[in-house]
């Protein structure tokens, strides 16, 4: 998969399932002059995902796969990753769990952003659980993906205060803004310190 040598940009694929604000933030980041990444491929498991419009707008290759047959979908994904010479995968609101096969092939080369302060609140509905437990802080986390859900090494985390008047929607909105900010920072940190 190759190390990052000199000023060569790392070729990245972003996986999405829906709205795509994190994808948009990564595209903006990739277009910055000193960006260490180039986004060559967007993978999506939902043909109606709004986020696909960002790929179209920026003329980035995209592949929509049907996860009804997970094995078939992942084989298609692997072929496309190879064809596009992808060396880093960034999950950005991708709501499917990758199989061990992909995780092993891209070992320590898959990042994910999660809307909580991991290891708290792995899985879904993070914000409603934060509200229900009356937590004073929440946050978001960029981490490496391993075969256990939301459990890989943490690359970057940002803490966010929960206000008394917050509900799960206001919190989700505020956390998402911070996610969009930290994902590029985490990728730069990951590349500079790990690769």
Helices (H), the chain: 21-31, 52-57, 70-83, 100-105, 126-132, 168-194
Backbone angles phi, psi at 4, to 5 degrees: -85, 115
User: What is the separation, in whole angstroms, between the first and last Cα of the chain?
Assistant: 11
Question: Looking at 6-14, 16-24, 54-62, 101-109, which segment touches ligand GAR (CB under 6 A)?
Answer: 16-24
Give the footprint of ligand GAR on residues 53-92 (CB under 6 A).
92
Using CB under 6 A, pick the residue from 1, 9, 19, 195 that binds ligand GAR.
Answer: 19
**184 touches ligand GAR (CB under 6 A):** no
**Nearer Cβ to ligand GAR, position 3 or 100?**
100
Of 16, 54, 22, the C-alpha closest to 175 is: 22
**Nearer Cβ to ligand GAR, position 36 or 51?**
51
**Alpha-carbon distance 100 to 46, whole Å?**
21
Residues whose CB falls within 8 Å of the CB of residue 187, separated by 6 or more in sequence, listed in order: 12, 26, 29, 36, 37, 88, 90, 111, 142
**Nearer Cβ to ligand GAR, position 33 or 47?**
47
**Nearer Cβ to ligand GAR, position 1 or 113?**
113
**Alpha-carbon distance 179 to 17, whole Å?**
16
Give, in order, the Cα–Cα distances in Å from 83 to each of 11, 95, 138.
Answer: 12, 24, 39
Per-residue binding string, ligand GAR, 97-116, x by CB under 6 A, is: ----------------xxx-
**93 touches ligand GAR (CB under 6 A):** yes
Give the footprint of ligand GAR on residues 160-179 (CB under 6 A).
176, 179
Output the residue with the shortest Cβ distance to ligand GAR. Answer: 93
Q: Least Å distance between CB 114 and ligand GAR?
A: 6
Residues designated catalytic:
114
**129 touches ligand GAR (CB under 6 A):** no
Give, in order, the Cα–Cα distances in Å from 16 to each of 51, 135, 147, 161.
Answer: 7, 29, 19, 27
Residues that bind ligand GAR (CB under 6 A): 16, 18-22, 51, 92-93, 113-115, 176, 179
């Amino acid at each position: 998969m190759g190390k990052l040598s000199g000023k060569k940009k790392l070729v990245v694929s972003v996986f999405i399932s829906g709205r795509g604000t994190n994808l948009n933030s990564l595209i903006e980041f990739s277009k910055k002059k000193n960006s260490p990444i180039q986004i060559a491929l967007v993978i999506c498991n939902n043909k109606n995902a709004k986020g696909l419009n960002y790929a179209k707008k920026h003329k980035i290759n995209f592949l929509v796969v049907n996860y009804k047959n997970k094995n078939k979908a992942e084989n298609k994904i692997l072929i496309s990753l190879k064809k596009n010479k992808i060396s880093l995968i960034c999950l950005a609101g991708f709501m499917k769990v990758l199989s061990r096969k992909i995780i092993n092939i891209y070992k320590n080369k898959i990042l994910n952003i999660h809307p909580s302060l991991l290891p708290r609140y792995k899985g879904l509905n993070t914000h409603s659980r934060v509200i229900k437990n009356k937590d004073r802080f929440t946050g978001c986390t960029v981490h490496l993906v391993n075969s256990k859900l939301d459990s890989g090494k943490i690359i970057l985390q940002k803490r966010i205060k929960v206000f008394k008047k917050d509900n799960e929607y206001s919190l989700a909105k505020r956390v998402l803004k911070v996610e969009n900010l930290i994902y590029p920072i985490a990728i730069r940190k990951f590349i500079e310190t790990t690769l």
